[in-house]
């Protein structure tokens, strides 16, 4: 595989991973593997933080919905409703 093909594939993959275009350009222009590694590491950290945020949101939504459902089933007095 040529360097050009490898760079095009990398650019497409990095865009799919939502890396900012300016960082992709910096990676593709880099001559130092350490620079490439650092940009990828920074993006990986961003993605992990975003995933952690999304997980926290889902936990919060789950707690809220399940509490509301329990309240609906039990009613305001706490006694279990009979359907």
**pTM for this predicted structure:** 0.73
**SS3 state of residue 18:** coil
Q: How confident is the model at residue 67 (pLDDT cuts 50, 70, 90)?
A: very high
Burial (0-12, 13-18, 19+ Cβ within 10 Å), 52:
exposed
80 vs 31, more confident: 31
């Amino acid at each position: 595989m040529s360097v050009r093909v490898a760079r095009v594939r990398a650019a497409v993959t990095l865009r799919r991973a939502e890396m900012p275009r300016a960082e992709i350009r910096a990676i593709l222009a880099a001559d130092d593997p350490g620079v490439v590694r650092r940009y990828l590491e920074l993006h990986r950290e961003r993605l992990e933080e975003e995933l952690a945020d999304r997980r926290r949101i889902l936990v919060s939504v789950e707690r809220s919905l399940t509490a509301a459902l329990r309240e609906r089933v039990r009613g305001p007095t706490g006694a279990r409703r009979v359907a």
